[in-house]
Structure 1
């Protein structure tokens, strides 16, 4: 097995095509976060991004995207943003994890959303977690008929709130693939405000993340398209979501809404509208991402399993990295796994956020008694707190 190292944004057209073929032959690699387009998007703004290309003879059969520091610490490409990680390869291809790290110049490789099929990494997995997904089906008739058939328990309340929203602000309409970059900026502004209200790290305060999202918004390829979806009431945007899709998988990523309109559960309306529209577009799975949230339990049809852990070689840098990172992960996972710990921690963060923003735009609390995914899900009190 020959292994060569490349910049992801500089891969040749033939290598990208080989990557796409490998993903097409294995349904588990259909997620847009496993595409060369996503790796190239990260690589355009992250100097340490690389792709290891595994070749048998003259044929490229595997692709391993990662980021590397000057000390040889490696992490999954886009760690903290990516909801799916893997070495993408043709069926039947095998590799050795230690040999792979040596070829990449890594002492350790950290991951947190590894797909299950990565057998050479199995012994390095320190925990596995549910990643809910929605199997999408195209229904007859319009959105309301689809909603009643797919989610009868949510249909009555959701449709009632949509009608009320329409009466109060203007006709409700949904755009699955909005191409207005100004609306993308509005989404990022809403999301930043939400992060601050809830005392989460503001991802959009980091220029490289803003640049990556703006870049991916412009990507329109067969295997990867950045999709901005918006719910409008009249001419007013109510909620928005940006996420990538492949031909068959749509990834829920960044969702936010106008906090003044939280009463109408706009985040839930957004996710339901996206599921119906994506199914009509030929998407078969909507990936909600790792993390336990009530709205995911309402929407999911099944769960995948993803792993987190560290592949490491015998090296002092690897030892130091594990000693630093594992306790942090362990504490976080303990809090997230136990509602008695998670709920007080979440309340504390919201209280701190309210104190920080007092006198500002308001807390945007959900007054309907139903949790809203733009607040609870996209904050992902999970590994990325997105």
Structure 2
């Protein structure tokens, strides 16, 4: 097997076409998880424009490309899944039945260690090094929106009645409700990022949009359009003004739910839930198989999902001092985080503490502005 590493801009059009074809045909080959847009060449190229150290390993047999492995690395040989902490699907895109030696791949890429937190299923050479597996909820719409709605009514009749009633109330009290599945106005994208930034601060989380490179990445993906990949901005309007919005990525068969947010002035109408139902309807009309809500336990995900995928986290290591040092630093942090997230008696107090801290920060900021 021949393994060669390229910068994103060095990848040939022919290799990109093969990579895309592997994703397009993945559902026919029993590996639908490889169709996720986070595993696409477009996402790797966009991230390469915004971050240093993005590389793509192309694996060939008899001169033919059989696998594509995007990753990020530091000059010390620490490797991370591309978009670690931001992407919801990671791994190696490959032809059916292909297997590889993980440590041989790391050696060819100049990596002592490769860390992942959303490894998709079916990556056996990497999965043996996983430290844990986690549910990633999805909304199946391959049988159509009405079939999905019927499933929700059967499982959670009170939830669906309440959500649809709030949508009607929003229309009566604010103005006609409308939905745009693929909004092309960049001003609305800026509005969404403002809402999301405020949500991060309000809940005590780290504000991703405080990082200019993430803003650049979303803007670039917003303008990336193609049959097999597109940045999708979906918006719920009431009375002609946006009340909820979402930006995610779409492949031919998967829509990733990435950055949802809403105007808190309309919180009593649950515009975020209404938006997700409209997104499911729009995705079904486009021929999408499912919406990937992403790893993480949230009440709204439990209410909307039809099932869970499984994603893994961990790291693959070679015998190298850098790898040992990286594991020593990262393992305690990940273990503590996962323990808190998996135990309600710990997560509840931690979540409330973060929100109180967010409120204090917001109050302090408002005081300074006055």
TM-score by length of 2: 0.93
Match of 1:44 in 2: 49
1:232 and 1:138 map into 2 onto residues whose CA distance is 27
Q: Is the 8 A contact 2:3 2:59 kept in 1?
A: yes
Instruction: Give the conservation status (yes or no) of the 8 Å contact 1:25–1:91.
Output: no
Matched, 1:55 2:56: no
Counting only pairs closer than 5 Å after superposition, residues 87-236 of structure 1 correspond to structure 2 as 87-137=92-142, 139=144, 149-152=150-153, 153=157, 154-236=159-241
Q: Paired residue for 1:4?
A: 4
Quote the Cα distance in structure 2 between the aligned partners of 1:42 and 1:94.
Answer: 26
Structure 1 unpaired stretches of 5+? 362-386
3-state DSSP of counterpart to 2:67: strand
Note the alpha carbon deviations across 1:327-368, whole angstroms, 9 max, x for none: 00000000000001001100001111111213889xxxxxxx
Matches within 5 A, 1:242-257: 242-257=247-262
SS across alignment from 1:116:
coil
Structure 2 distance, partners of 1:82, 1:9, is: 20
Q: Deviations over 1:62-89 (max 9, x none)?
A: 0000000011100000111110011110
- Displacement after TM superposition at 1:166 (Å): 1.1
Aligned-partner Cα distance in 2 for 1:360–1:237: 26
- Residue 138 of structure 1: how far off its partner (Å): 5.5
Whether the 8 Å CA contact 1:34–1:86 is kept in 2: the answer is yes
Select the structure that is richer in helix: 2
Is the Cα contact below 8 Å between 2:141 and 2:148 reproduced in 1?
no
C-alpha distance in 2, partners of 1:303/1:146?
18
- 2:24–2:252: 8 Å Cα contact kept in structure 1? no
Maintained 8 Å contact 2:140/2:148: no
The equivalent residue for 1:379 is none
1:82-114 CA-to-partner distances (Å, cap 9, x unmatched) read 100111100122211111001000000000111
Question: How far, CA to CA, are the matches of 2:261 and 2:20 in structure 1?
Answer: 31
Deviation at 1:122, TM superposition (A): 2.3
* Residues in 2 aligned to 1:236 and 1:138: alpha-carbon distance in whole angstroms: 32
Task: State the superposition RMSD in angstroms.
Answer: 1.5
Report the Cα offset of residue 172 of structure 1.
0.5
Which deviates further from its counterpart, 206-215 or 118-127?
118-127
Q: Which runs of 5+ in 2 are unaligned?
A: 27-31
Task: Tell me if the contact between 2:89 and 2:119 (Cα under 8 Å) persists in the aligned partners.
Answer: yes
Instruction: Tell me how far 1:25 sits from its aligned partner.
Output: 3.4
Whether the 8 Å contact between 1:224 and 1:245 is mirrored in structure 2 is: yes
Contact preservation (8 Å) 1:124, 1:311? yes
Instruction: Deviation per CA, 1:295-348: give whole Å up to 9, x if none.
Output: 211111111111100101111111110000010000000000000100110000
Alignment of 1:286-325 (within 5 A): 286-325=291-330
Shift of 1:28: 2.4
TM-score by length of 1: 0.90
**Deviation, structure 1 residue 150:** 4.0
Partner of 1:21: 21
C-alpha distance in 2 between matches for 1:173 and 1:150: 24
1:330 to 327, 335, 341: 335
> What SS is found at the alignment partner of 2:114?
strand
CA-to-partner distance for each residue in 1:110-138, whole Å, 9 max, x for gaps?
Answer: 00111121111122111011111111046
Q: Answer yes or no: is 1:285 the counterpart of 2:286.
A: no
2:29 equivalent in structure 1: none
